[in-house]
Amino acid sequence: MTGALLRLDRLDVHYGAIHALRGISFEVREGEIVTLIGANGAGKTTTLRAISGLLKPSGGSIFYREEPIAGVKPHKLVERGLSHAPEGRGIFSNLTLRENLQLGAFLRRDQDGIEKDMQRGFTLFPILRERERQMAGTLSGGEQQMLSIARALMARPKLLLLDEPSLGLAPQVTETIFRIIEEINRAGVTILLVEQNAHLALGIAHHGHVLETGQVVQSGTGQELLRSPEVRKAYLGE
pLDDT value, residue 88: 67
Please say which residue of 156, 183, 203 terminates a domain.
Answer: 156
Write down the pLDDT at residue 23: 97
Task: Quote the pTM value.
Answer: 0.92
Tell me, yes or no, whether 75 and 145 share the same domain. no
Yes or no: say if 190 and 28 are a contact pair by the CB < 8 Å rule: yes
Q: Are residues 218 and 230 in the same domain?
A: yes
Q: Based on the fold, state whether residues 77 and 129 are members of the same structural domain.
A: no
| Distance between CA atoms of residues 19 and 78, nearest Å | 27
167 and 149 together in one domain = no
**Predicted local distance difference test score (pLDDT) of residue 1:** 42
Contact 194, 44 (CB under 8 A): yes
Structural domains in the chain (count): 2
Distance CA 168, CA 165 (A): 9
Give the C-alpha separation, 227 to 215, whole Å: 21
Query: Could you list the residue range(s) of the whole structural domain that residue 30 is in?
Result: 1-81+158-238
Tell me, yes or no, whether 186 and 71 share the same domain.
yes
Query: d(Cα 4, Cα 2) in Å, to the nearest integer?
Result: 7
pLDDT tens string, the chain, 238 residues long: the values are 457 999 999 999 999 999 999 999 999 999 999 999 999 899 999 999 999 999 999 999 999 999 999 989 999 999 999 999 987 667 899 999 999 999 999 888 898 889 999 999 999 899 999 999 999 999 988 899 889 999 999 999 999 999 999 888 888 889 989 999 999 999 999 999 999 899 999 999 999 999 999 999 999 999 999 999 999 999 888 7
pLDDT of residue 132: 92
Cβ–Cβ under 8 Å, residues 30 and 189: no
Domain edge (last residue) among 109, 129, 156: 156
- 56 and 95: one domain? no
144 and 110 co-located in one domain = yes
End position of a domain, from candidates 111, 141, 156? 156
Which pLDDT value is given to residue 224?
Answer: 97
